[in-house]
Amino acid sequence: MLRLSIVVALALVACKKDAVVEPPAGPTPVTAGAVGGDGVRRVAVDAGKDGYRPERIGGKPGEKLVLVFTRSFDAACIAQLKTPDGKLVDLPMGKPVEVPVAVPATGEVGFACGMDMFHGAVVASAP
């Protein structure tokens, strides 16, 4: 009986060694947000000490979004936003700032803090 237990235990360990383990995928893009009467989805984005939350925002290719950034941390690096089209926008402390963005046809478009330390992206979801 002891031999059988050992054989079963060794077989289980051998099976685990051969198992294929998928690497974890990156953060799942957030697709939540309120759609206004104009059909544009608004997504709240916190600009805080750990960067942007959510960091990745998903949408349908071509969908129009308004990202509503609110800075919740008093630091120079997060006080400005570089939009996907390259413009610098001031983010005053605690005041929402709306930034219109179109979801790309494929891939993603990025945004970053003025010092390029924190990053986020608008990601095209598969249709």
Domain boundaries, the chain: 34-124
Per-residue pLDDT band for 17 (boundaries 50, 70, 90) equals very low
Topology (CATH) of 34-124: Immunoglobulin-like (2.60.40)
Q: In sequence order, which residues have a C-beta less than 8 Å from that of residue 69 and are 6 or more positions away?
A: 45, 47, 52, 81, 89, 91, 96, 97, 98, 99
Q: Is the pLDDT of residue 48 over 60?
A: yes
- pLDDT (mean) for 30-44: 78
Q: Is the pLDDT of residue 7 over 50?
A: no
Percent of the chain's residues with pLDDT above 90:
65
Give pLDDT, residue 34. Answer: 67
Higher pLDDT, 90 or 25: 90
Give pLDDT, residue 8. Answer: 42
- pLDDT (mean) for 46-66: 96
Q: pTM, whole model, 2 decimals?
A: 0.73
Peptide bond into 61 cis (omega under 30): no
